[in-house]
A = this chain, B = another copy of it.
Amino acid sequence: MTAFCAAVDWGTTSFRLCLLNRDGTVLEERRSDEGLLSAKGRFAEILETHLLNLGASDDLPVIICGMAGSQSGWHEAAYLEIPCVLSDVPMSAVRVPGVKRDVRILPGLSQSNPADVMRGEETQLLGLSHDGIICLPGTHSKWAKVENGRVTDFSTWMTGELFALLSQHSMLSDMTKGVAANDETFRAALNATLDMPEHITNSLFGLRARVLLGQAGGGASALSGILIGLELVGVGVASEVTLVADKSLGDLYTSGLNEIGASVVRVDAAIATQAGLLKAASKIWATENT
């Protein structure tokens, strides 16, 4: 079966390429750690190497979302300012100049007040086709409000990056190895933060103090509970949330959202991205390739 396009999710630290047919079936897939940080100056080479290895034709078009479109990426695809109709996003994709193949990079979205930006999540929102409150947790968790297919508001929370900083570089690093679990420790830390979010830097030091005093520590689950709790109380969560996440982070956020009485509809993050890339490709190349 001949591929319709290659769909690429090109993030800061990861690269994922799928060859898709017209109905979205994945014909081939490649994942690597050739994200923005390691791909500088080698974007075209990396892409072509993967396509060659998969036997893709020379004229197969490529649709890309994510940080490859940032100022420090391959080629800038300027932000679209919200409010913004999601189905209009594909027509603002920027064609990468200087390469023979038709390669397009989708733009991110921006909000001027309060200042905020997203890159990659707009493609997941496009793939979702879902109105309401959408939570996309991660290094920089996004919460978006979608009304009649328009993004009207969004916010970013530095939850995942703080978790990484604290578990890798802080005085908590030797006690927060491993993966956070949706356990009693996680929920206790989350609920404590929901009650007193202004106490988080005290709670963080308390994790260390408990270990020094021979009390039960909390590890990665407690750290995660504190930080996810802070995000949920900050967002001021609605009664129903569509959660776009992988399995492990999705379980933690679902638990947190349930703790505060919100109902959750879960969508796998990779599937949402792929659906958005397919929609964008179909819109861009609909007439040309039929």
Q: How many residues of A contact B (CB 8 A)?
A: 41
Which one, B110, B205, B227, contacts A140 given CB within 8 A? B205
Residues of B contacting A110 in the complex (Cβ-Cβ under 8 angstroms): 209, 212-213
**What is the bound-complex CA distance between A204 and B230, given in angstroms?**
13
Assuming the contacts A201-B231, A234-B199, asked whether A206 and B165 have C-beta atoms less than 8 A apart, the reply is no
Which of A22-30, A150-158, A178-186, A262-270 makes up part of the contact surface? Answer: A150-158
Please state if A198 and B233 are interface contacts (CB–CB under 8 Å). yes
Residues of B contacting A205 in the complex (Cβ-Cβ under 8 angstroms): 116, 140, 156-158
Mask of A59-72 contacts with B, CB within 8 angstroms, 1/0:
00000000000010
Please state if B140 and A213 are interface contacts (CB–CB under 8 Å). no
When all copies of this chain in the complex are counted, the total is 2
Closest to A141 in B: B201
Task: Decide if A112 is an interface residue (CB 8 Å cutoff).
Answer: yes
Which one, B169, B202, B234, contacts A198 given CB within 8 A? B234
Task: Decide if A162 is an interface residue (CB 8 Å cutoff).
Answer: yes
Assuming the contacts A165-B166, A165-B170, asked whether A198 and B230 have C-beta atoms less than 8 A apart, the reply is yes
Further pairs besides A155-B202, A156-B209, A165-B165: 6, Cβ < 8 Å: A71-B212, A115-B215, A165-B169, A199-B234, A201-B230, A201-B234
Chain A interface (Cβ < 8 Å from any Cβ of B)? 71, 79, 110, 112, 114-117, 140, 155-159, 161-162, 165-166, 169-171, 196-202, 204-206, 209-210, 212-213, 215, 227, 230-231, 233-234
Closest 7 CB pairs of A and B: A197-B198, A115-B209, A198-B234, A158-B201, A156-B205, A115-B210, A157-B201
